[in-house]
Amino acid sequence: MSAAQKGSRLPLIAGGLLVGLLLLAAVFADEITAVSPHYWDARSSILEGRPPFPPGPGHPLGTDEWGRDVWSRVVYGTRWSLLFAALVTAGRMLIGLAATFAAVYGPRRLGWLVDKLYVMTTAIPPLVTYLLLLSSPVKNTIGLWPNVALTACVLTLVEWPRVAVTLKGRLQQLMAEPFVEGAVAVGGSRWHVFHIHLLPHLWPTLLHLVAAEMARALSVIAQMGIFGILFGGGIMVVGDARNPDRWYQVSGLPEWGSLLSDGRLQVLSRPWIAFPPAVAFLIAVTGFTLLSQGLEGLNLPVARIKERTTGRLSRRWRWALAALPLFGLLWYYQGLPWDRAAGIQALATRQAAALSAGDAEGYAGTVAPGSDALRADARLLAAALAGERVESVDVAMEEVRLRGARAQARLTMTVTFADSPPLHLSRPVDLVRRLGTWYVEDRELYTLRG
């Protein structure tokens, strides 16, 4: 491989690494964070003061003005930000492909219309159009997913002509090639020519456009966040206990644009609020831009790859292989029912064994990392029981309600003493699974409005 070829692949490798890092953060957000992104650490004391707290123990990137951990919100925001950008990109690509097919194979007026729409949508900066269409206060009152649908539709309809014009130019260039003219001359239908002869040569352009549109969508989400326009809203109404007539609207959804909006007015006084989401946007936009540059003009032998990998498989088995990653994600987030039930009962067994042995640290280890207050309570309970003559400890998780990697249950504990009546405890608990192990979690979730 020559030095020029190695240099041409550097953007592809660098962009792929950055995008892969973001996807790993989105998938394993539960494992690399210790605090819920919705948890309000509203501590107020003479020594610690009121939030926001600067970076320190328990909050590596600090908290926002409502006491929510910035690191957790940035990591969980990777899921929402990439999801919103993917929705916009998918909409633009689908409409662009349909418009390209119609413009190339349909009447000439359709091609002329696509070109004129491109000129009209690029005459005014897209951000100005978004600000005019999405700045209404009514947008924050229609609910989360209607808000997401509305914003995605606006971002899609304004900029899909650019995708259509790019694809139309590439498709017209391919149709002038001799192999396409030969396929038309022997009587191949339009769909046959497109599917067999044109589509394999369009894949590099399609992949390049997907990566480029992801970068553009993320950039637009960041710009809208600076102006206080949030993708999906996620508005929470917060009242002031000291002044009932006073209330605030704060962003509840952990999404990078909302994080940037929360910290835009405190860049100088509290830079740790706005700096992490800005860096996250920088990494994402840079990664997808490098990936698009690396994919541009890449020779992608689709037919050869298909022949060497799944060429001998039937179409049914190809669809089954394509669905494997989806099933893997479902298994990771939902788990198998018997595995989840067994893991929760194993948690109860660990708790009973630690209390029976008087192991305070072992019992505290059944609490999820980051739940410091609950861990302190667990140590106190284990220390209190260690000074008594305990004969047996029975712990059971009842009324379990599973929700993916989280669950709610009623913990029932019975402690039998040698010289005193038994102790019965029963309380609801929140559970969380991290790397296949279940823990008790101390969470305070506030219901989102919007």
For the stretch 219-261, pLDDT in tens is: 999 998 888 888 765 555 455 545 555 444 555 678 898 888 8
For the stretch 138-162, pLDDT in tens is: 666 677 778 888 888 999 999 999 9
For residue 443, which amino acid is it? R
DSSP 367-409: BPTT-HHHHHHHHHHHHHHHTS-EEEEEEEEEEEEEETTEEEE
Count how many residues are written for the chain: 450
Taking alpha carbons only, the member of 157, 26, 43, 10 closest to residue 91 is 157
Indicate the SS3 state at residue 173.
helix
- Distance CA(11)–CA(287), nearest Å, equals 9
Q: Which of 173-177, 214-218, 255-259, 359-363 has the highest mean pLDDT?
A: 214-218
Instruction: Give me the pLDDT at residue 161, please.
Output: 93
Q: Any idea where the domains of the chain sit in the sequence?
A: 3-309, 337-441
CB within 8 Å of 368: residues ≥ 6 apart: 34, 432, 434, 439, 440, 441, 442
Element (H, E) at 105: helix 70-105
* Residues β-bridged to residue 390: 417
The answer on pLDDT for 447 being more than 50 is no
Pairing relationship of beta strands 406-417 and 390-403 according to DSSP bridges: antiparallel
- Return the residue matching tokens 């913990």: 411
Chain centroid to Cα 188, Å, comes to: 44
Contact 52, 67 (CB under 8 A): yes
At residue 375, φ and ψ (nearest 5 deg) are -65, -40
CB within 8 Å of 151: residues ≥ 6 apart: 84, 134, 139, 231, 232
Q: What is the CATH number assigned to the segment(s) 337-441?
A: 3.10.450.50
Instruction: Give me the pLDDT at residue 388, please.
Output: 78
pLDDT band at 450 (very low <50, low <70, confident <90, very high): very low
For residue 425, CA distances in Å to 155, 377, 436 come to 54, 14, 27
Chain centroid to Cα 190, Å, comes to: 39
CATH number for 3-309: choose from 3.40.50.620, 3.90.25.10, 1.10.3720.10, 3.20.20.140: 1.10.3720.10
The answer on pLDDT for 46 being more than 60 is no
User: Assign residue 396 a region: left if phi > 0, alpha if psi is -120 to 50, beta otherwise?
Assistant: beta
pTM of the model: 0.73
The pLDDT > 70 percentage for the chain reads 79
Contact 64, 50 (CB under 8 A): no
Tell me the average pLDDT across 176-188. Answer: 78
For the stretch 301-315, pLDDT in tens is: 655 666 666 666 677
Instruction: Give me the pLDDT at residue 6, please.
Output: 52
Instruction: Give me the pLDDT at residue 343, please.
Output: 79
- 122-158 burial code (b ≥16 CB/10 A, e <16): eeeebbebbeebbeeeebbeeebeebbebbbebbbbb
- Distance CA(285)–CA(211), nearest Å, equals 9
Report which of residues 327 and 21 the model is more confident about.
21
- Distance CA(446)–CA(248), nearest Å, equals 14
Taking alpha carbons only, the member of 350, 346, 348, 380 closest to residue 362 is 350
Burial of 255 (0-12, 13-18, 19+ CB in 10 A): buried
